[in-house]
Amino acid sequence: MRKKIVAGNWKMNKVFSEAETLITEIADALDEVELINTEVVLCPPALYLEMATDVAYESNFKVGAQNVYPADSGAFTGEISPLMLKALNVSYCIIGHSERRKYFKESHDFLLQKIDALLKHDIRPIFCCGELLPERESNQHFAVVKKQVEESLFHLGVDAFSKVVVAYEPVWAIGTGVNASKEQAQEMHAYIRQLIAGKYDVETAENTTILYGGSCNGKNALELFSQPDVDGGLIGGASLKAEEFMQIVSSL
């Protein structure tokens, strides 16, 4: 049975003391719930990964990074390597987020390199894909997502692919307060699963965790997560408050 995941993408928010408070609040709340076949992943800014993995060691969540550079070491000023993440016990890393595609011009090929670099160190990529509003309005959304998935993931062999988590994040829904409807989410998730079945096999597709992201919150999570192909969420804004984040976790 595929794993359900709720991952919090904190983006570039919180100073250290605030991050510590939020992590502690979530860790305490997680102590009170039983997670069955479910993983909670917190992705704070890189500066706080060590603190987060220290707390996670005695708690019920895993830690993810928001970015990585695809080399083990070298002259890449300001970057962080998968080897460094691994040494801190980081388990996941977000790749292909629309903000990185947009502001940092990350290409399909660069994302492919990041995926390979993470998998080499047994860190699970959370691979984001999703269309812009004009692409949906012109009915290109399936083609856009297909290309993103094919170009950055489908070079992988089946064993490597089985470590990947996919996150469908329609760009028009990220940070806008306008989430995809449950029907739109289900339709795209089923489509992605079908792509995976076509490239690999039905079993691999059935075992792939596909998250929804984009204005998912305490109010709409239950409805979105009730869809058969929606296996949890990648949560931005609503992951910054412990109570609301836990409401989302309880919606799985």
For the annotated catalytic residues, the residue numbers are 97, 169
CB closer to ligand PEP out of 175 and 198: 175
Contact code string over 124-163 relative to ligand PEP, x by CB under 6 A: ----------------------------------------
Q: CB under 8 Å to 195, separation ≥6 — which residues?
A: 146, 149, 150
State the residue number with the nearest CB to ligand PEP: 236
In angstroms, rounded to a whole number, what is the distance separating the alpha carbons of residues 243 and 112? 35
Q: Which member of 6, 9, 56, 117 binds ligand PEP (CB under 6 A)?
A: 9
Smallest CA-to-CA distance from 79 within 63, 93, 89 is with 93
Element (H, E) at 150: helix 141-153
In angstroms, rounded to a whole number, what is the distance separating the alpha carbons of residues 184 and 9? 22
Q: Which member of 42, 63, 65, 216 binds ligand PEP (CB under 6 A)?
A: 216
CB closer to ligand PEP out of 40 and 205: 40
CB closer to ligand PEP out of 23 and 43: 43
Smallest CA-to-CA distance from 8 within 168, 202, 248 is with 248
Cβ contact 43:10 at 8 Å: yes
Any idea what DSSP says for residue 91? -
> What part of residues 175-204 is at the interface with ligand PEP (CB under 6 A)?
175
Asked if 214 is part of the footprint of ligand PEP (rule: CB under 6 A), the reply reads yes
Strand partners, 129: 168
Asked if 66 is part of the footprint of ligand PEP (rule: CB under 6 A), the reply reads no
In angstroms, rounded to a whole number, what is the distance separating the alpha carbons of residues 21 and 36? 26
What is 48-76 written as a DSSP string? GHHHHHHHHHTSS-EEEES---SSSSSS-
| 3-state SS class at 17 | helix
CB closer to ligand PEP out of 118 and 216: 216
CB of 249: closest distance to ligand PEP in angstroms? 14
CB of 18: closest distance to ligand PEP in angstroms? 17
CB closer to ligand PEP out of 56 and 238: 238
Cβ contact 76:113 at 8 Å: no
CB of 171: closest distance to ligand PEP in angstroms? 10
In angstroms, rounded to a whole number, what is the distance separating the alpha carbons of residues 252 and 250? 5
Asked if 170 is part of the footprint of ligand PEP (rule: CB under 6 A), the reply reads no
Contact code string over 219-248 relative to ligand PEP, x by CB under 6 A: ---------------xxxxx----------
The length of the chain in residues reads 252
CB of 43: closest distance to ligand PEP in angstroms? 9
Residues that bind ligand PEP (CB under 6 A): 9, 169, 174-175, 213-216, 234-238
